[in-house]
């Protein structure tokens, strides 16, 4: 399983509707309430640059949770 799939699985398990997506040179959270966030982007080249736990922390910071 790739890191994006792992993160999305964890988000779903935690009850969040947003999902991690890939952009060019960055990743972002989409769906749910992500459109109303100040930003939903995390600027890393590879999803594997962060652990699943770190992605969830990034999600919570961006979501204000």
- Distances in Å between the alpha carbon of 46 and those of 17, 19, 25? 22, 16, 8
Q: Say whether pLDDT at 1 is over 90.
A: no
Its domain, for residue 46, covers 3-63
Which of 54, 38, 11 is CA-nearest to residue 20?
Answer: 11
Structural domains counted in the chain? 1
Q: Say whether pLDDT at 65 is over 90.
A: no
Radius of gyration (C-alpha) of the chain in whole angstroms = 11
| DSSP assignment string, 1-61 | --HHHHHHHHHHHTT---EEEE-SS-EEEESTTGGGSS--EE--S-GGGS-HHHHHHHHHH
pTM of the complete model: 0.94
Confidence (pLDDT) at 49: 96
pLDDT in tens, 11-51: 999 999 999 999 999 999 999 999 999 999 999 999 999 99
């Amino acid at each position: 399983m790739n890191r994006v799939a792992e993160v999305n699985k964890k988000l779903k398990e935690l009850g969040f509707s947003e999902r991690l997506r890939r952009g060019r040179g960055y990743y972002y959270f989409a769906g749910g309430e992500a459109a109303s966030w100040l930003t939903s982007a995390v600027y890393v080249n590879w999803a594997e640059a962060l652990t699943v736990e770190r992605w969830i922390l990034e999600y919570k910071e961006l979501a204000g949770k």
